Chains A and B, each alone.
Chain A
Amino acid sequence: MTVAAVDTDLVERAFDQYADMVLRIAYQNTRNQSDAEDIAQNVFIQLMRAGNFADEVHMKAWLIRVTINQCKNLKASAWYRKTTYLKEEWLPFTAEQNKVFEELWRLSTDQRNVIYLYFYEGYNAREIGELLCRNESTVSSLLNRGKRKLKQLFIEGGYPYE
């Protein structure tokens, strides 16, 4: 009996196209480059096992969801809970860029993910709701509260908010 060949080309193309996105999501959730890279590798290994997707839109959505879930799993692990990290940055960051992450990490995990998907990936609230299994109004609420809080944090920190 033979095993169906895994479409390595697909995974490689997916890696080239979405590895940065996966790393960004993982980093903002874990605050640690090593963890982010471990998670990214696991995500692409899972992608290889997952088989084909109807189209690229679904694959991208799948990658986002699995990445966030991997981050949750990591945070839930006993090992992670007992580990205290030294702050590890993804160098080189400018002071302004560092400030963005500092303030982002003061938001809740959900707010952070919603804000990232909205501002950076360009998803709307409905689409984010689908991705995160949340209803649209919850996403809107997370987004609005997150934006308000970020704005306040930026202003309090003396940084421009535009």
Chain B
Amino acid sequence: MNKNFRSAFENIKATKSFRDDTMEKLSKETSPELHTIDLQPVDQTKQTHMTINRIAIAACMAVIIGMSLAVPKLMNGDQASASPSVFLSATSSLTETLSPMPLPTAMNGSGSRTLSGIHFTLPDDIEDTTEILDNQTCAVMEIDDEFYFAATTRYKDQFSCYCTIYHYDLVTNSYTPISDEVYGVYVRDGRFIYSDDSGQCYSNNTKWNDEKKISRDELDYYDFDVQDDDITVIDSDHVKYSIHIDNAILDQSLLENYSIICNQVKNNKLYFNVNYHIAEGNNTSELFCINLDGSGLKKLGFEALNAVGWTRTIGTTVYMNRFVADSNTSYLYILDTNTDDVRKIGEVEGFARYFAAGSKYLVYSTDADDYFGPHILHYCPLNE
């Protein structure tokens, strides 16, 4: 396929006449008369804007690079905690523009303790170690107020990785592996969901002694297809929902370049992001939901952050990270899918990758040094 694919595209080339025609048009663009006459009055403004844009681009590029590395390698192993809550986290330098919602001091990360790093021995049969992200978490989970994390062991393919699940004991400040190496893990209804190489899914308890095969249908799986503003949702029973998004609700000043990203269906509502591309390396994102019958489209209100955002989709819950340039603070949110209220539960130092909240504690992982390095686990008390 690849050979035919390349061969077909090789045929598409700029012809000489096309080149000549384009060059002629480009030369008209650079005509000194045109620019001198048309641009003189706004020249200074343009220069200023360009300077600002370049600063913004420079600032944002650093984050984009980091963002891309922060995107979880594990497609379906990054969920935290149980339904019906949806977890969100954000990083922003725009502290002054954020909601003044008062947070208990214990929730702002000041009381957090840093847990020790996680270390693994890489398998010998992995040749390209540049693709191996050792000592990194790919999920932080909570079941019955006990915390677990999944640590990356090696990549399965270009897009996904294997991991081992550990139980973290907050009392003794120690962690113990509880699982074999698994592929893709998240928590649903108090059990771990994961799969093997063949794609067979399983669930297991926290003691790892009650493995049960589960079918894809049991996973409340939804497939999404987005064509411009039209979304098709297909559930595991192959029922198809066609939804049109009226873009009047979107940010009209940013309609030049946006894309819709479906996240998850919960309570017969589709949750989706709209990502606006503002400029090179500069994106912003909003969160919406709509009933599967196409009614009730609404934007979910929480602090508008100048952010690159994404949402991770697992089971019946959604976990979202939103990050912003030149910042080292992460904002953690919970979205109640019954009421669609978004609540900030924490504000922590560092580039938060994953988090989970219990009744008393919040556990999260951050980069130790940079986007390439190992992660560190932290926890802090909630409402103590």
A residues engaging B (CB < 8 A)? 1-4, 6, 8, 11-12, 15, 19-20, 23-24, 27-28, 36-37, 40-41, 44-45, 48-49, 51, 54, 58, 62, 65, 69, 72-73, 75-76, 90, 92-94, 96-101, 108-110, 116, 119-120, 124-127, 129-130, 132-138, 140-141, 143-144, 150-151, 154, 159-162
Contacts and interface: CB of A to CB of B under 8 A. Distances in A.
24 contacts: A2-B36, A3-B32, A15-B19, A20-B14, A41-B21, A48-B26, A51-B50, A54-B57, A90-B11, A93-B8, A100-B8, A119-B6, A126-B69, A127-B68, A129-B71, A130-B64, A133-B283, A136-B159, A137-B71, A137-B72, A137-B76, A137-B310, A140-B159, A162-B1
B13 interface: yes
B277 A133 contact: yes
B9 A54 contact: no
A125 B159 contact: yes
A41 B30 contact: no
B71 A126 contact: yes
Interface stretch (B87-95, B211-219, B222-230, B359-367): B222-230
A101 B1 CA distance: 12
Given A48-B30, A130-B67, 10 more contacts: A3-B36, A6-B30, A15-B19, A100-B4, A119-B2, A119-B5, A126-B69, A133-B257, A137-B71, A144-B159
Given A41-B25, A110-B226, A136 B72 contact: yes
B75 A154 contact: no
Contact of A135 (B21, B22, B43, B71): B71
A1 B26 contact: no
B338 interface: no
A129 B61 contact: no
Nearest to A7: B30
SS class of chain A's interface: helix, strand, loop or mixed?
helix
B29 to A, nearest CB: 5
Interface residues of B, number: 64
Interface in B30-55: 30, 32, 35-36, 39-40, 43-44, 47, 50
B275 interface: yes
A108 B23 contact: no
B261 interface: yes
Interface in B67-109: 67-69, 71-73, 75-76
Contacts of B257: 65, 69, 72, 133
Nearest to A127: B68
A136 B71 contact: yes
B4 A1 contact: no
Contact of B18 (A37, A100, A136): A37
Q: Which of B7, B14, B32 has the most CB of A within 10 A?
A: B14
B130 interface: no
Contact of A96 (B4, B21, B26): B4
Given A27-B12, A100-B5, A1 B43 contact: yes
B25 A45 contact: yes
Interface in B137-175: 158-160
Contacts of A69: 256-257, 277
A67 B38 CA distance: 26
Given A3-B39, A125-B158, A120 B9 contact: yes
Contacts of B23: 12, 15
A132 B259 contact: yes
B311 interface: yes
Contacts of A1: 40, 43-44
Contacts of A110: 226-227
Contacts of A49: 29
A97 B159 contact: no
Contacts of A141: 75
Given A8-B26, A120-B6, A125-B158, A19 B14 contact: yes
Contacts of B57: 54
A45 B6 contact: no
Given A100-B5, A135-B261, A162-B1, A90 B69 contact: no
Contacts of B7: 94, 96-97, 100
Contact of B29 (A23, A48, A130, A135): A48
Given A3-B43, A135-B261, A130 B14 contact: no
Interface string B243-271: 00000000000001101010000000000
A75 B228 contact: yes
The 4 closest A-B CB pairs, nearest first, are: A135-B310, A97-B8, A136-B71, A100-B8
A87 to B, nearest CB: 15
Contacts of B22: 15, 19, 40-41, 44
Given A27-B12, A130-B68, A162 B2 contact: yes
